[in-house]
Chains A and B, each alone.
Chain A
Amino acid sequence: MSMSHILQADRLSRNFGGLQAVDNVSFTVEEGEIFGLIGPNGAGKTTLFNLITGLTPVSSGTFSYRGKLLTGLAPHCVAGQGIGRTFQNIRLFKGLSALENVKIPQHSRTGSGLMSGVLGLPASRHEERVVEEKAWELLKLVGLSGRAVELAGNFSYGDQRRLEIGRALALDPKVLLLDEPAAGMNAAEKHTLTAFIREIREQFHLTVLLIEHHVPLVMGLCDRIAVLNFGKLIAIGAPAEVQQSQAVIDAYLGAE
């Protein structure tokens, strides 16, 4: 229970009407790590992300960030703690421009209320400038600054994935949860993405949790990996160790 763990899951469980989607899962994540979550389809990886971010209430167990309990908090409070995420099926604000998409998450860092925004009081005008500047920076970072006013829904799949990462970064997160960021990308794009994730970890001092199906990408990128099967944690450790684990081999091969 040392305080160096940035994240700690303690016997997290969730069942949906008899189906044990996440079953008694405990692990810790160190600051600055890139931590991979793998497992067959339906193993409970996305559910675990939803438990962490408060979108799905836990059935039992706790999750804490720097010793502070997150379980029981509403999603916006979890986000306010500096935990950003992307979604497996991309949930951008599709009818809004790319620029607005990266402005919106700056909400928790800013504070101007209804009237001060409408009246354009100096404090809120200043805040707007900061938000605007930061939004452009983020768009540049994900390589979409040339298309800032286009609607997010009109972007290609790969561009949407990148914009969604940019949107999560706009929260100024300390922890970033990426749900299958490479899904639907070709080999070259996957390669670029790997480098990009490393780069943002350095630049923003992030801890990254990552769900990914593409095993080579996970093995190459992650410092440690946890393997889920039928909601249970069956292995955790460095990529090489996990690769050797009999339980993992059984889960992947035996399931076929």
Chain B
Amino acid sequence: MEGFLQNYGFLLVTLVQQALLALSLYFPFMAGQLSLASPGFYALGGYIAAIMATVDSCASLRNALGWTIFPLEWLVAALVSGILALIVGIPSLRLRGIYLALGTIAFVEILRVLFLNLDITGGAIGIFDIPQLFEERWSYILIFGPLLVVVLLFIHRLQHSRTGRAFKAIREDELAAGAMGINPTYYKVQAFVIGAVLAGIVGAMSAPLLNTWNARQGTFDASVSYLAYVLIGGSRSLWGPLLGAALLAALPELLRPLRDARLIMNGLVLVVASIYLPHGIVGALSRLWSFFSTPSAARGGE
């Protein structure tokens, strides 16, 4: 049992963490917006946690709070991410189309350059020896697991609420949504901010898990991976990002012998999936399901 947990426990933690990051991208997708910002907020959250956990000037705070410093880190990461998301989101989301994707690419790159060069983020080396929350790495499932459950419930409830309907309307047809009384910019920004807050929290939880934190945590490559999770799993159902993250994040572990060819595989998967699975795996499955569950007479009527 011990060995099993050692070997597969960490893989499980990684999968859940990647699924959470995929879901952080899914929020803007709910409102039809393509964001590539998650790695930026993830990196930011991690730096906030790492700094709060290591910097001398926070020592007295750490002594006073004990282990409750960790939830405080998450909270600060969430707040800062949310505020920054407003600053990035409002100018990009006043506009329709590809501008959020471009704006968030710029955001991730600017943050990366800052993290690489600022003193407080440890420059190119990053931050070392971040205190651990748990002794065993697999134990981090105790925070990532509940967070995943909360996020899934949140999305599930959101989809059937007034706000969720506004998201869906904008995703379907932004212009018509406006004509039906929905303020598109407001809801697009809201969706983007929720995703950013989630990515920030996941980053803050991951810094102790990984023990060190540096600018490689937030790169354009990571943006592409998360995007792949969502689109290959399916961007129209909350199970899509979950499945996509589980498959694609596990794939490299399972295909470890392939080593370098692994990234080539990733690229091929992106191409093939976007051409042959336009609604992702979940979309394809649900089509199959509705095909077989619809009585053939009804189908013949079309």
Contact = CB atoms under 8 A, between A and B. Distances in A.
A91 interface: yes
Interface stretch (B37-45, B70-78, B165-173, B240-248): B165-173
Interface string B143-169: 000000000001001101111111011
Contacts of A55: 175, 178-179
Contacts of B160: 128
Nearest to A173: B181
A53 B179 contact: yes
Given A79-B180, A104-B182, A118-B157, A91 B175 contact: yes
A171 B181 CA distance: 8
B157 to A, nearest CB: 4
Interface in A140-176: 167, 170-171
A79 B162 contact: no
Contacts of A76: 177-184
Given A96-B172, A117-B157, A79 B178 contact: yes
B261 interface: no
Contacts of B154: 118
B147 to A, nearest CB: 15
Contacts, number: 99
B168 A93 contact: yes
Contacts of A127: 162
Nearest to A168: B180
Interface string B230-270: 00000010000000000000000000000000000000000
Interface stretch (A39-47, A105-113, A232-240, A242-250): A105-113
B163 A167 contact: no
A119 B158 CA distance: 9
Contact of B172 (A95, A113, A124, A131): A95
B176 A87 contact: yes
Nearest to B302: A154
A38 to B, nearest CB: 22
Interface string A85-102: 101000111111000100
Interface residues of B, number: 27
Nearest to B164: A117
B157 A105 contact: no
B190 interface: yes
Contact of A103 (B165, B175, B194): B165
A117 B161 contact: yes
A77 to B, nearest CB: 8
Contacts of B164: 117
A171 B182 CA distance: 11
Interface residues of A, number: 37
Contacts of A185: none
Interface string A37-81: 000000000000000010100000000000000000011100110
Contacts of B175: 55, 75, 91
A158 to B, nearest CB: 16
A164 to B, nearest CB: 9
A124 B179 contact: no
A184 interface: no
Contacts of A107: 162, 165-166, 169, 180-182
Contact of B178 (A74, A92, A100, A119): A74
A114 interface: yes
Contacts of A80: 181
Given A107-B182, A114-B190, A93 B176 contact: yes
A98 to B, nearest CB: 13
Given A87-B179, A104-B166, A113-B163, 5 more contacts: A74-B178, A80-B181, A100-B168, A103-B165, A119-B157
* Pairs A-B, 5 closest by C-beta atoms: A117-B161, A108-B181, A75-B178, A79-B181, A93-B172
22 contacts: A53-B179, A55-B175, A55-B178, A76-B177, A76-B179, A76-B181, A76-B183, A79-B179, A80-B181, A91-B179, A93-B172, A96-B172, A104-B165, A104-B168, A104-B177, A104-B180, A105-B181, A108-B181, A110-B162, A112-B162, A117-B163, A171-B180
